[in-house]
Chain A
């Protein structure tokens, strides 16, 4: 069964450093998403991406964040200058055309020290 994969599973970084989180969505999906879950809190939407551009973003997704689909398979989330409060589990998801049913990856746990 096809699945969304994410690398790395755990990333530790120093405050102020740039990080790139990687995702490989399900191959025939067209819509891609990033969500985050701060420890003990709800899952929050960050951004959605379709047709090589951002289709929607939340208030959390400020200028420190960017997304890219550098090739036909990867989807990345970059945080330019990490802050302590960026520590969270980051989930990638993808969905096909039509009605919204999103498939989630296992997540990347980001720890900012």
Chain B
């Protein structure tokens, strides 16, 4: 069964600083990879996804992520963080076997300092 690890439970960055949130997955083949963001009291919003092709994917709100097969990673990045980016970020994986359930990581809570 596939699994997702987000090693950082909580990250604090200053507004305007760059950001990288780590995600590692465990799956034998190429997975479908996603990043979702959850603001307090809100649902899950899709930031970006990787299915195939270019390993650097662009998402909404200025986020990007890079799929690295050799490292089984799909890290999320943003060059300059805004205070409104404070939220919880979830990495998720789906397999290509027809199983459509998403497996989520435990999340990284991002705090942005002024």
Measured in the bound complex, the distance between the Cα atoms of B104 and A42 in whole Å is 7
Judging by beta carbons under 8 Å apart, are B42 and A106 in contact? yes
Among A4, A44, A56, A102, max chain B CB count under 10 A is at A102
**Contacts between the two chains (Cβ within 8 Å), count:** 53
Interface pair A99/B42, CB less than 8 Å apart: no
Verify if B67 is at the interface (C-beta below 8 Å from A): no
The tally of residues in A whose CB lies under 8 Å from a CB in B reads 24
- Is A42 a contact partner of B100 (Cβ separation < 8 A)? no
In angstroms, Cα B94 to Cα A102, docked, is 11
Q: Which residues of B contact A31 (CB under 8 A)?
A: 100
Q: Looking at chain A's contact residues, is the secondary structure mostly helix, strand, loop, or mixed?
A: strand
- CB of B43 closer than 8 Å to a CB of A: yes
* Closest CB in chain A relative to B1 CB, distance in Å: 11
The answer to whether B106 and A58 touch across the interface, beta carbons within 8 angstroms, is no
Residues of A within 8 A of B46 (CB): 101-104
Q: Does residue A48 face the partner (Cβ distance < 8 Å to B)?
A: yes
State the interface size on chain B (CB cutoff 8 A).
Answer: 22
Q: Which of A45, A48, A55, A105 contacts B43 (CB 8 A)?
A: A105
Contact A45 B49 (CB under 8 A): no
Find chain B residues with CB under 8 A from A4 CB. Answer: 43
Q: Which of A42, A55, A103 contacts B90 (CB 8 A)?
A: A42
Whether the pair A42, B99 counts as a contact (CB closer than 8 A) is no
Contact yes or no, A33 B101, CB < 8 A? yes
Knowing A42-B106, A43-B104 are in contact, say whether A107-B99 is a contact too (CB < 8 A). Answer: no
A-B contact pairs, 6 of them (CB 8 A): A42-B107, A43-B92, A58-B101, A104-B44, A104-B46, A105-B43
Residues of chain B whose beta carbon lies under 8 Å from any beta carbon of chain A? 32, 34, 36, 42-46, 49, 51, 90, 92, 94, 99-107
Closest 4 CB pairs of A and B: A106-B43, A45-B101, A104-B44, A43-B104
